Amino acid sequence: MEHPIIIIDSWEAVAFYTGHHEQRDKEELEHNLCDVSRRTKTKIILLVEYTGQTALDYLVDGVVVVESDLFEERRLRRMVMQKLRGCQITNPVRLFSLNKGVFKCFGEFKGVEMAIENPTIPDSIPDLSATRFSTGIKDLDRVTNGYGCFNLFEGDYITYDILAHALSINALNLGRWLIFASTMHPDYITRISAFVKQEHRSNIAQVEEIKDIRDKIKDKSTIVLINLEEIEDVDTAVREIMTLFKEQECKVMCFVGRKGCDELESFASTHIKTKFISGVPCIYGEFPRTEIHAMELDMSENIPKIKLTPIV
């Protein structure tokens, strides 16, 4: 057999049932096992049920501690790489999931890079119903049943920015109009335009004041993206947003950062929190309530594809 791998679960139980009850006998067995592994080039994975340091830690090539915690009453799984012989550990804590019984570890997020040489215009995702429009991410549509009239995002901006990119590209390709009520990064529109059909690239407007939004709205399918972190007079902005919502003149995507806003939470049809966990952009829904989901951005097919994996 080439490259054999032996997994022993659990090591304490195996040592006990083979008669190695004394610590000295157990350590001798561990020495012999490691020696056999190196001589036969067999990889051995030992699963133990303790986290304290023992003599075995010095014999093996790697030590990984697996943790399962609760974060805001949601499952959170991480593994801590304490030792990896001959290798530099650049990110010792990794987020992972056991979704559908399959182990999946997530790498550190390196940033959104959408400037590719030959961008491909993605197939648009249709709305889910007359009252719920697509998020631009199939996995997120399944989890939240799409976005509603007013959608609130709270937490880390970079994670929200990924969601906003997906929504913007899909909405424009469906022929919708977008209004940005913030000082978006100068290259934001340029980045998303490369993935939008030519005839819809002009369906974008920008305003400096929220009170000017109403003049730019084309119809009730228009989507307004607001970043309250960039607005000084938040109270006035909230009143303007509530007026827009009550009059149902458009759809609203509102990012509030970490400070939150109780007035907006009370009538949000979708409330999503965004957070970096162990270097991975994650989201979880307050309404509708969801598990924590890790986000992965795939550009391998020259289009930005976002995948979500529940941390369970």
Q: Check for a shared fold between 5-105 and 138-310.
A: yes
pTM here is 0.90
| Residue of 132 and 191 predicted with greater confidence | 132
* Half-sphere exposure for 96 (CA within 13 Å, toward CB): 18
pLDDT tens digits for 107-138?
A: 999 876 666 678 889 999 999 999 999 999 99
What are the strands, taking DSSP E only, across 60-218?
A: 62-71, 74-84, 93-97, 104-105, 150-155, 178-181, 204-206
**Above pLDDT 90, what percent of the chain?**
64
Tell me, what DSSP letter sits at residue 120? -
Of 7, 6, 33, which Cα lies nearest the Cα of 20?
A: 33
Per-domain residue ranges of the chain: 5-105, 138-310
Q: How many Cα atoms occupy the beta-carbon half-sphere of 122 within 13 Å? A: 26
Q: What is the CATH number of domain 138-310?
A: 3.40.50.300
User: β-strands 150-155, 251-255: how paired?
Assistant: parallel
Pick the CATH number of 5-105 from 3.40.50.300, 1.20.120.10, 3.40.50.460, 3.30.40.10: 3.40.50.300
